[in-house]
């Protein structure tokens, strides 16, 4: 004897089968499933057991049907199923507990955003209208610009909060505009802040680096630790005293080699007599480097009028002597 | 599903068209009736969905006629019957099956004879 809920059982089972075959092209599905309900009703009329008990789960039934019919999903249906997967993923996120918690928590952050967007808007305007460097995320109250910035930020916060607290929602087009403006402020602010040197860097680190001479950078091979003067004819000179443009003795930075300075008659070390007498940590004296002396122009080649002005002591065929 | 059932299911897949055509050659029939008659003839593991799908495919391929018979107590029944194309398909498939089964039987007999010797 058929059970009372037989028609609903048939309808539900057929619906599940149709759903499982929803990826088939519509026309094909129509032909295949044309009299599915009648067929299932016939089976249901045979006994009391539910269709799922007698035929297996509807998904499996659909699979068997698909195989026997030799049907393939359409390309369009595959796109649709991709879209379906994406929608399911979104639904899963939206339905999750974490999302709900975040959603419940977000409105509480709104006033914070009202303040933040006012500050960011003033920051963007300041960055747009001032070309000076040293513009930091925190206004400098010791400058006129900084003071104006702080004042403007205060006014902007007041306006922003007032605007945010206005209870009634905006009409649709204005709402879109407002959301776009908020997103734009956040986006530009990220760019501006990214380009900005931080307060700490510009104020503290910047001054620290100012006093550092670029000595290492000037000599690619490393710092100068000693100077070996040579005469024009290639003889190594000793105890050459070097001074800079202001008359100060030129000295070397202390290096790993130990330097022994000659002591003057007044008891003071003479620190600018080159080459310096240096010893390695091991005690061995630092050997003079091999140098490539440049070839000077030969006297015959320079027998031009300018040769007379040469102050060198080289044997010159000058007839003025 | 046991191994025997699995084997039968695999075998059925290849010959279900022939089996359905043979049943309909005896008498026009509707979906559930075809399943029942196949089972009565010893094809116990034939699936309802497989038969339904096969009927729809053969009908779509133009091998079957179809007509609805109103029923007083149950749902309307869609009857299927062979048309000329269906009968030709049945003849062709039956010949194929005959030669195929003959070859396979020969192979199997040869093996059992070989064991016997």
Residue A224's pLDDT is: 79
As a whole number of angstroms, the distance between CA B58 and CA B17 comes to 8
**Binary contact (B49, A68; C-beta < 8 A):** yes
CATH number of B3-116: 1.10.10.10
Q: What are phi and psi of A278, to 5 degrees?
A: -120, 145
Q: How confident is the model at residue B105 (pLDDT cuts 50, 70, 90)?
A: very high
Residue A197's pLDDT is: 57
At B55-79, the pLDDT tens digits run: 999 998 899 999 988 877 767 788 9
Candidate from A42, A68, A69 with C-beta closest to B32:
A42
**Binary contact (A70, B31; C-beta < 8 A):** no
Q: Is the pLDDT of residue A124 over 70?
A: yes
Residue A155's pLDDT is: 92
Percent of chain B at pLDDT above 70?
89
Q: Which is more confident, A312 or A19?
A: A19
Give the pair of three-digit tokens for residue A276.
């310096």
Share the mean pLDDT of chain A.
Answer: 77
**Binary contact (B31, A42; C-beta < 8 A):** yes
Q: Which is more confident, B114 or A271?
A: A271
A199 CB near a chain B CB, below 8 Å?
no
Of the listed ranges A79-83, A204-208, B31-35, the least confidently predicted one is A204-208
Residue A3's pLDDT is: 45
Asked whether A289 and A243 are in contact (CB, 8 A), the reply is no
At A55-112, the pLDDT tens digits run: 889 988 998 888 888 866 656 566 666 777 787 788 777 777 788 888 888 888 888 9
Burial class (CB in 10 A: 0-12, 13-18, 19+), B13: middle
Q: Which is more confident, A82 or B51?
A: B51
As a whole number of angstroms, the distance between CA A318 and CA A308 comes to 7
Q: Is the pLDDT of residue A298 over 80?
A: no
Over residues B94-98, mean pLDDT: 93
Q: Is the pLDDT of residue A316 over 70?
A: no
Over residues A119-126, mean pLDDT: 86
**Binary contact (B53, A45; C-beta < 8 A):** no
Q: Which is more confident, B37 or A264?
A: B37
Candidate from A34, A35, A65 with C-beta closest to B49:
A65
Over residues A41-50, mean pLDDT: 82
Of the candidates A278, A291, A314, the residue with the CA atom closest to the CA atom of residue A230: A291
Residue of B nearest to A63 (CA): B49
Residue B27's pLDDT is: 93
As a whole number of angstroms, the distance between CA A186 and CA A121 comes to 9
Residue B32 CB: number of other CB atoms within 10 A?
22
Tally A–B CB contacts below 8 A: 63
Q: Is the pLDDT of residue A49 over 60?
A: yes
Q: CA angle B81-B85-B86, nearest 5°?
A: 40
Of the listed ranges A17-26, A141-150, A309-318, B81-90, the least confidently predicted one is A309-318
At A125-169, the pLDDT tens digits run: 888 877 655 567 777 777 787 888 888 999 999 988 888 887 667
* A44 contact partners, CB below 8 Å, separation of at least 6: A2, A6, A9, A10, A51
Residue A226's pLDDT is: 86
CA distances A56 to A15, A52, A59, A102, Å, are: 15, 5, 8, 42
Residue of B nearest to A35 (CA): B78
Q: How confident is the model at residue B80 (pLDDT cuts 50, 70, 90)?
A: very high
Residue A167's pLDDT is: 66
**Binary contact (B78, A35; C-beta < 8 A):** yes
Residues in chain B within 8 Å Cβ distance of A42: 30-32, 74-75, 77
Q: Which is more confident, B1 or A264?
A: A264
């Amino acid at each position: 004897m058929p059970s009372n809920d037989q028609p609903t059982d048939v309808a539900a089972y057929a619906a599940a089968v149709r759903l499982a075959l929803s990826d088939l092209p519509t026309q094909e599905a129509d032909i295949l499933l044309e009299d599915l309900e009648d067929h299932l009703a016939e089976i249901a009329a045979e006994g009391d057991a539910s269709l799922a008990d007698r035929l297996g789960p509807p998904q499996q039934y659909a699979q068997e049907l698909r195989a026997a019919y030799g049907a393939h999903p359409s390309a369009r249906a595959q796109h649709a199923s991709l879209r379906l997967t994406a929608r399911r993923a979104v639904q899963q996120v939206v339905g999750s507990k974490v999302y709900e918690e975040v959603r419940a928590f977000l409105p509480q952050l709104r006033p914070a955003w009202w303040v933040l967007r006012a500050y960011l808007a003033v920051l963007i305007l300041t960055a747009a209208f001032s070309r000076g460097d040293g513009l930091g995320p925190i206004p400098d109250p010791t400058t006129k610009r900084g003071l104006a910035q702080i004042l403007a930020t205060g006014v902007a916060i007041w306006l922003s909060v007032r605007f945010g607290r206005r209870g009634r929602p905006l009409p649709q087009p204005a709402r879109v505009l407002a959301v776009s403006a908020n997103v734009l402020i956040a986006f530009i602010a990220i760019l501006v802040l990214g380009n900005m040197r931080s307060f700490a860097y510009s104020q503290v680190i910047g001054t620290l680096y100012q006093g550092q001479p670029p000595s290492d950078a000037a000599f690619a091979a490393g710092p100068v630790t000693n100077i070996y003067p040579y005469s024009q004819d290639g003889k190594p000179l000793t105890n050459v005293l070097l001074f800079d443009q202001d008359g100060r003795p030129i000295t070397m930075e202390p290096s790993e080699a130990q330097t022994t300075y000659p002591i003057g008659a007044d008891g003071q070390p003479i620190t600018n007599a080159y080459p310096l007498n240096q010893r390695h940590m091991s005690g061995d004296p630092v050997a003079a480097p091999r140098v490539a002396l440049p070839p000077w122009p030969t006297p015959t080649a320079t027998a031009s009028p300018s040769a007379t002005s040469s102050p060198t002591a080289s044997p010159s065929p000058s007839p003025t002597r | 599903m046991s191994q025997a059932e699995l084997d039968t299911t695999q075998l059925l897949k290849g010959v279900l068209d022939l089996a359905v055509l043979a049943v309909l050659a005896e008498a026009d029939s509707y979906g559930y009736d075809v399943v029942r008659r196949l089972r009565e003839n010893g094809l116990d593991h034939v699936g309802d969905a497989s038969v339904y799908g096969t009927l729809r495919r053969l009908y779509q391929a133009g091998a079957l006629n179809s007509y609805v018979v109103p029923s007083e107590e149950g749902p309307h029944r869609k009857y299927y019957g062979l048309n000329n194309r269906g009968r030709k398909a049945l003849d062709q498939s039956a010949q194929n099956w005959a030669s195929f089964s003959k070859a396979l039987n020969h192979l199997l007999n040869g093996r059992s004879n070989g064991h016997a010797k």
